[in-house]
Amino acid sequence: MRGSAMVELLIGQVLSYSADPFAIGPAAAQHRSRGAVAIEGGRIASVGEAAVLRAAYPQARVTDYGRKLISAGFIDAHVHYPQTAIIASWGKRLIDWLNTYTFPEEMRFADPDYAAAVAERFFDLTLANGTTSVCSYCTIHPASVDAFFNAAALRGQRVWGGKTCMDRNAPEGLRDTAQSGYDDSRALLGKWHGAGRANYVITPRFSPTSTPEQLAAMGALWAENPNCLMQTHLSEQTDEIAWAKSLFPAARDYLDTYEEHGLLGAGGLYGHSIWLEAREKARLVEVGASLIHCPTSNSFIGSGLFDMAGLKSAGQIVGLATDTGGGSSFSMLRTMAAAYEVAQLRGTALHPSQLWWLATSGSAQSLHASDKIGNIAPGMEADLVVIDLASTPAIAQASARASDIWESIFPTIMMGDDRATHAVWIAGILVQ
Ligand code: GUN
Ligand code: ZN
């Protein structure tokens, strides 16, 4: 890892977690109103009261952020960087949206220069929103994977990504085969997995765009590389579920189309997971798989209302994600707001401590990386965001009335955007 040898001491309001607030409530969070984070060699060396850490690190370079909030950087656990340019495309539901907007745009990634340009733009946009790690789909083209990991490496970011495999129900030019999907994925995995902070993710797009042969090939690759994660889509829209079942008539349910081909496991990331059947929920929790909640996308494409309260209380692992360009914002603040609104529509008011945890530690847990990122604790990689809790007049006047930290944060969750990002640190280096 990069990182300067000097100790950096960041002072401000510091928010960290010692547990999952869905399990024990807001007491899972620690808030220090005059706290400090000491960074050394790209990692967090210490977290505590500002006065104590100032005395412990007299030689440190000090940055005093005053009343601003120092948090772990946001982690977007499911996103499609190649869809950056088609965000906010009007009027379609999932399958139509894929055919009308997504596939034509993904075709353009046959040009490596275009892929590199969009990857650069994507990381600029997400960093401006305080997102320090992402788990992204690329396109069918191996060069789109190189563009993604190269752009992340330039910025020093810990990222996950993989070549999106499709060998049916996609246009000519966006299809590989079971064999070439396996071969390309294997070569990219060998090139990128563990290179610096890069993590390769085996990526069959979803059952409707893969033959059983391709799913089996992806399952074989995963079995050969069990330390890799595998990402796909599951139970996003009712039409999609009916289509998946019709393409796999022997499957017990949508999840079974993956399970039968070696694509169900603890390292599996199942995007959306809205309309799960009882057997699917039981199997997902049994294997310890991760469900990725994409609330702006689920509303924008008209998919449905994810059952956060029910799934978390059943012990499911859940991460939070934008799913751009199906999602309508690059901001994890906006994404937390959407998660709050969706939960309200299902009768639960998620607490700000839960929303913030989902966007940081929860996403890290879903990516099996909570020992590295997603929290402020000694030994963790120093990926931090500094948030202005009064970034617009509307937010400032609401947070001015706050009587505790959660009332002071919640207006930024509900109304905040990239203007709330005051600073971003990646591996102990100020990048934004
Ligand atoms: N299902 C299969 N591909 C996609 C995609 O690109 N976006 C979303 N939201 N759902 C999908
Ligand atoms: Zn997706």
Distance between CA atoms of residues 121 and 119, nearest Å: 5
For 74-366, CATH number? 3.20.20.140
Q: 325, 336 in Cβ contact below 8 A?
A: no
Whether 81 is in the pocket of ligand 1, judged by its Cβ within 6 Å, is: no
- Local structure of 427: helix, strand or coil: coil
Residue 121 has pLDDT above 60, yes or no: yes
Whether 78 is in the pocket of ligand 1, judged by its Cβ within 6 Å, is: no
Tell me the CA–centroid distance for residue 79 and ligand 2, in Å: 6
Residue 312 has pLDDT above 90, yes or no: yes
Residue 4 has pLDDT above 70, yes or no: no
* Domain residue limits, the chain: 8-73+375-430, 74-366
| Chain centroid to CA 171 | 28
- Straight-line distance from the first to the last Cα atom of the chain, in angstroms, rounded to the nearest whole number: 19
Residue 39 has pLDDT above 60, yes or no: yes
**Residues above pLDDT 70, as percent of the chain:** 99
Residue 80 has pLDDT above 70, yes or no: yes
Please report the atom of ligand 1 found closest to the CA of residue 297. 9
Give me the mean pLDDT over the 341-353 stretch. Answer: 98
Distance between CA atoms of residues 58 and 56, nearest Å: 6
- Quickly state the pLDDT bin for 65 (edges 50, 70, 90): very high
Tell me the CA–centroid distance for residue 46 and ligand 2, in Å: 36
- Local structure of 299: helix, strand or coil: helix
Give me the mean pLDDT over the 281-292 stretch. Answer: 98
- Quickly state the pLDDT bin for 282 (edges 50, 70, 90): very high
Q: Whose CA is nearest to atom 3 of ligand 1?
A: 205
Distance between CA atoms of residues 282 and 344, nearest Å: 25
Whether 106 is in the pocket of ligand 1, judged by its Cβ within 6 Å, is: no
Share the mean pLDDT of the chain: 98
Residue 101 has pLDDT above 90, yes or no: yes
Distance between CA atoms of residues 383 and 286, nearest Å: 32
Give me the mean pLDDT over the 203-212 stretch. Answer: 98
Beta strand 421-426 with 290-293 is unpaired
Whether 129 is in the pocket of ligand 1, judged by its Cβ within 6 Å, is: no
Q: Whose CA is nearest to atom 11 of ligand 1?
A: 233
For ligand 1, pick from 136, 205, 273 the residue to mutate: most ligand atoms within 8 Å of CB: 205
- Quickly state the pLDDT bin for 153 (edges 50, 70, 90): very high
For ligand 1, pick from 99, 164, 174, 206 the residue to mutate: most ligand atoms within 8 Å of CB: 206
- 364-374 pLDDT, tens digit per residue, is 999 999 999 99
Q: Is the peptide bond before 325 cis (omega within 30 degrees of 0)?
A: yes
Give me the mean pLDDT over the 312-324 stretch. Answer: 98
Please report the atom of ligand 1 found closest to the CA of residue 301. 9
Give me the mean pLDDT over the 164-179 stretch. Answer: 98
| Ligand closest to CA 204 | 1
Please name the fold of domain 8-73+375-430: Urease, subunit C; domain 1 (2.30.40)
Residue 188 has pLDDT above 90, yes or no: yes
Whether 68 is in the pocket of ligand 1, judged by its Cβ within 6 Å, is: no
Tell me the CA–centroid distance for residue 49 and ligand 2, in Å: 41
Give me the mean pLDDT over the 186-213 stretch. Answer: 98
- 219-234 pLDDT, tens digit per residue, is 999 999 999 999 999 9
Which of 1-10, 18-27, 244-253 is least confident?
Answer: 1-10
Q: Strand runs (DSSP E) across 188-334, as ranges?
A: 198-204, 229-234, 268-272, 290-293, 317-320
| pLDDT for 1 | 52
Whether 233 is in the pocket of ligand 1, judged by its Cβ within 6 Å, is: yes
Whether 296 is in the pocket of ligand 1, judged by its Cβ within 6 Å, is: no
Distance between CA atoms of residues 29 and 361, nearest Å: 11
Distance between CA atoms of residues 336 and 342, nearest Å: 10
Task: Name residues with Cβ closer than 5 Å to ligand 2, which is an ion.
Answer: 271, 323
Residue 198 has pLDDT above 80, yes or no: yes
- 292-310 pLDDT, tens digit per residue, is 999 999 999 999 999 999 9
Whether 205 is in the pocket of ligand 1, judged by its Cβ within 6 Å, is: yes
| pLDDT for 2 | 52
| pLDDT for 408 | 98
